[in-house]
Structure 1
Amino acid sequence: MAAMVEEARDLVSNILRSCTNSEGLMLEESIQRVLKRNNELKMEVSGFLKKYYHEFLPMADSSLSLENRARDIMTDTQRLTSLIEDNLNSQRLSDSAGKRQEGEARLKEITVTISFVESLLEVHKRLIKAREELKNSNYLRAAELTEAVTEIMIEIRGLGCEAIVYRSLKEELDLLKSDIKFSLYEEWNKMVTWTTLSSNNQSTDLAILSSHTVPAESCEDFENVVLSLFTILEEEEWKARVKTYSQKLLENIVKPLLTNGEHRLEVQSEREDKIEMMIMTSPPVSIEDKLCSVITILTTVTKMIPLAHRPDWSSKLGKEIEPELYLLVHSLLSQSSPKTAEERTSYSMISETVLQLEESFVELGLVVSEYTSLSDYTKNVDTHIVNQQCQDILDHARLILTRPLYETTAVGGADTTELLKKFKFRAEPQQKELEQHQVEADISSFPFSFLFPCCLISSSTKDLIALLYDTLSKCESTSAATASQMYITSRDMVDLFIALSQSYCLTGESDPLVSVLQHNNYMYVSHHLLIIGRHQFSSGLPGKAPMTFIDFVPQLRRLAESCFLAEMGSQTSVIESFLKSSPSFNDIGSDPDKQESLTLAVCQSLNHIASLSKTFSNALPDELHKRCKYGLLNLLVSELIERTLSVEDFSVDDSNFLYTFLSSNVLEKWSVDHRGRDETEEAVADLCTSWEKLKELVFVLKAEQEDIVSRWGKGEGPLSKHMSVPEVKHLIRASFKNTSRRAETLAKIT
């Protein structure tokens, strides 16, 4: 459009230059008309463009919008650029910090390595120095250097450094330690010597049997050896060293001296720094001299160790020799127990010597507290006599308990009453004045308080209880110490009974009578132990010493229960083995083989129960016998019920056979052949929980649907008391066809 205007203007200018003024006026009018026409043409063109190209107008607006968005994006880009530059600057700072930390870690590592190398150099120098000291026999200095090296090596190990040099130095240190220990042991063995005559070379003409040479307290060379050993040896090594020495001391010196009355100790000092102790043959030596010789031996072997380490040596030596030394002295004293008044008078000298021995134990550091067991043994002379009596009682009890288990005797209420009549109750002092008939009246007034049920027990068990009563009855006329010893012996008798009776369980005998007798023996002993202590003898003891055996009762009853349950478990297995061979009840009415197999299994089970009942009838208490018998019967009945209920569909023959079999071969046969005369039907039902259920099952097998509904009685009849809803419905479905009548019957069983 603009180009067209420019062309018009150029045309007008050219015309004006070529025309005159008059002509110019005319031309001017023409030009005005042309311009007017030009404007009209522009309007037309503009209208045409608006009319036909109006859809291009939004593009201008979109361009402006895009331009504004571009400016915004450029602004955001510039801002993001500045942020990136700032981030790059901070990243450089982080890299610099990381490099610095890495440098510090590297510096630390280098510092540790330098310390490691310096420590290795120090270890190397000390190892060389320790080796030189060892060559010069300066053991103490070598041991100190070795221990210092050990501490440095521990620190090096803590640095976490591993190197060939370190391992080599560690091997060198171990080798050096071994060399020092070997040298020290050699020096020890040179100064501490043993001489023992072989049993093959011994003769009655030889006076010296064994000898032991030790350094004196003033021996400086041995002191250096001991100090070196204490420096370099670890605790466990010292214990092993002391243990070996203690065993030799006991076997070669102490034991020969105390076990033979014709051996004595001879001590000689060869030089100022050496002491020799010899066991020699001689005429019989008194016990006092032997005990004094033990004091001399212990004093000599204790004081050879330097004073600084003497307590440690003494404590370890005492722990090793104390138990066996005590037994040796105790055996020596027991052999000299007085039996007459004159012997008791002379025994006081032995008591004084024993007291000196105990004091020397404490003084030398062999024990940490007052050692009074030996002196107590010698002070109470009467105890030795009591000990012999107690030993005789235990021997008697052992003889009683080794008698055969099958030698039985019947016990029960009358037996227990007779035994209690021999001993009056001691609960109150006024009861001591009661006459025998009054005590009997007290017992008879409470017939179930102390009565044991009638059964069979081993006669040895009854004799043991009688011996136990007799032993405790002797405690009332003795001193408190003697009574206490008798009481301990009585408890030992019970322990002996438990130990020996348990040995029958290990023999594996299959006779059920063995388990029954063991059960009865345990229960019989536990019954008497409930009352034999505090209720009968405790108040009559000197000093009112406490006496009880109740703590044995739970153990005895657990043993009785375990052996009897084990026997019942084996009998249960026998019944299950019979039933395992019997067939299932599916189609049993038409299968003669199944019927014969089932009849055989049930007959075997019932006969086994009956045979076992005869064995148990006289041996077990009546109530327990019934529970055992009917427990096994309940197992059989439960298995028959379960197999019957497992059948999905009964034919007429199946129902008839099972009805007849269960009625005659189980219910009637047990009631006629095996039920006791004094056992009512109600008693059988109480003891055999599945008995009534079996009766109801037999009823359902033969009954009509109306009879079953009537016996169910809307959930309150006899059938509902013994059988559940699912069980009854299962029997109805298995016995009757699927009809509307059966559906009505099932609906009524709720």
Structure 2
Amino acid sequence: MASFVTEVLAHSGSLEKEDLGTRITRLTRQVEEIKGEVCSMISKKYSEFLPSMQSAQDLVTQVDKLSKDIDLLKSRIESEVRRDLHVSTAEFTDLKQQLERDSVVLSLLKQLQEFSTAIEDYNCALAERKYVTAAQHLEEAQKCLKLLKLRKCFDLKMLKSLSMELTIQKQNILYHLGEEWRKLIVWKFPPSKDTSSLEFCLKTELHLCTEESQDEKAPTPPIASVLLAFSILGELHTKLKSFGQMLLQYILRPLASFPSLNAVIESPPGAVVVRFESLLTDLEHPSPSEVFTKIRLVLEVLHKYLLDLPLDTDVENENSSKIPLSEVLGSVIWEDLSECLIKNCLVYSIPASSSKLQQYTEIIESTEEFENALKAMRFLKGDTTDLLKYARNINSHFATKKCQDVIVAARTLMTSEIHNTVKIVPDSKIKVADLPSPGEDDKLAVQKVSTALYDEAVSLQPGSTLDQHSFSLPTCRISESVKKLMELAYQTLLEATTSSDQCAVQLFYSVRNIFHLFHDVVPTYHKENLQKLPQLAAIHHNNCMYIAHHLLTLGHQFRLRLAPILCDGGTATFVDLVPGFRRLGTECFLAQMRAQKSELLERLSSARNFSNMDDEEYSAASKAVRQVLHQLKRLGIVWQDVLPVNIYCKAMGTLLNTAVSEIIGRITALEDISTEDGDRLYSLCKTVMDEGPQVFAPLSEENKNKQYQKAVPVYVPKWMPFRELMVMLQASLQEIGDRWADGKGPLATAFSSSEVKALIRALFQNTERRAAAIAKIK
């Protein structure tokens, strides 16, 4: 009976559904039990570190059996759902969802199984020193753990244990690979701490192991397996970066820095050694071509024995692209290496003269050959690099270097001593090479300018011509450094006439910068000496006038030979700088003149007011006058043969006039002058009158100074009034009246009527004769 009912229900499908539900429930329960046992087993294995290999194998068997049952049920459910979808869709959907959840849990258990298997295989491979295989198994375990973390169906504590186990094993294999790397690549250094010295470099060696060691106890694996293992683990770039930095510091940079250093390659059995030797050389900086050859030799050795190994970017993908190790190392070191080559070689190879620029093509060619060799070894990609761009951009670098050298040389001259002087005469000329001949059109322009100047000169005074020295600088002394500075400016502009347009513009404005620099540096750097020392103030005055004199025509001399961009725009001129230099020299010298005037007046102040010429007062006044004359003579000595004659005479005349004016003012201010006081005042004035002209000695030849001493009234406006004052101190009333001559005599020219009357009242007693004399002064 039961069998009949069962058979009927089976045909109707109800029994099949109940049977499926019962079996799925049983499977679910079994899955949860196995999941618990797996978690417990993993916890013991990776957290508590208990041996559980047998239980793990049993679990694997159970998982496989459950997997087959689930696959069978899944197919039966699919067929039932399709056949009876219109009858019991909901019931079959629930059963299917429950089965899918069990399938997910089971797939995670499979991932755990694969993780465990990968770790076991990794340990076996690492024990046998099969580093590539071990690294691959470790990567498989990493992928399994990543999938487990994405599902988020397991206990976080268990996942943390797995992550920790994976980290420990990765660090373990990296440690072993690091030990193998140190055996394959050995650096030997001397005990010295000065790593940048030549002696340190000569004792530095790099040893590369090129063959697999046959030592039974600790055989050395081939370097390819070590590098490939590093690549699989993602640590190759870090390792090559560290190696590249040491290669730069201890081998490549010394080769680019020391011209006497040479690389030597030795090949003992099973290894290659890179070391250094010293060669005799007189070069201060290494030649770029020689450095390129040395570095190329070292890189060829590394490429042959270390880097000529293509690596798979993805081990599991057979069609993956292959990146050569040389390209990896090149990407690490090339930027620093090219910068080192530029700073230590190419910069110093830039010629100092435009005439040598043509020879620089050899260095450009050697740079290109060097880069092509590196590209052939895959150190570089096909793009043009900064090193070659720098070498090819020689015109710009030449101009920059030339300008820097010019400014440095100019600043050195500006900060040198001012008192070392040379004599400038009207025939003096700047010593520079002859300018290149202008073209035909330029010749015509020069002729037109010359003709125009000549016609203008003739039209000034018909029948006469200007003196050949009319526009020359007068004879004087200037600093030797300033003369060299002006020669430097001419030489730089001469260099610009044979340079490219870009270079010519830079050089031209460098010359302008020289003069701007002089204007700012010299007054500041020599400020104290210019204030204290009259001779240096005079020399600085001459220096400024000398520079201004040349700036007037400097641009015109080169205008037709400079770059068109300068000539056409009318910017090739220095005339705008002339007023500034004239003002600079004048202000400095006038400041010195004011200081000397103050000193003169201070000395005269010790003579009080000449009011009481007793012995003590007369002695003080005589001393003050002597000090004034001594100061003027001392100034005359330090300015003699330094200042131009006309400037010298004007300066000394101004100072002597200051002293004379002060004496005149004090004497004319007196209200009572006794006969004895008048004699003593006359004696003081006589001293000034006799010795004053002697301060006019602009030339070193004594006999040539007499003409300037005779022309004292020309340079000292108060000299004639001073002479008349001396006459009045000794004259009678009649003589004073005669010299006044109704306002037409020399006395009237020197003094006003009120001043003459005041002097008469001070010199003579109040009598009718004095009143009559005063009455004549109108």
TM-score normalised by the chain length of structure 1? 0.49
Larger Rg computed on CA atoms: 1
Normalised by the length of structure 2, the TM-score is 0.47
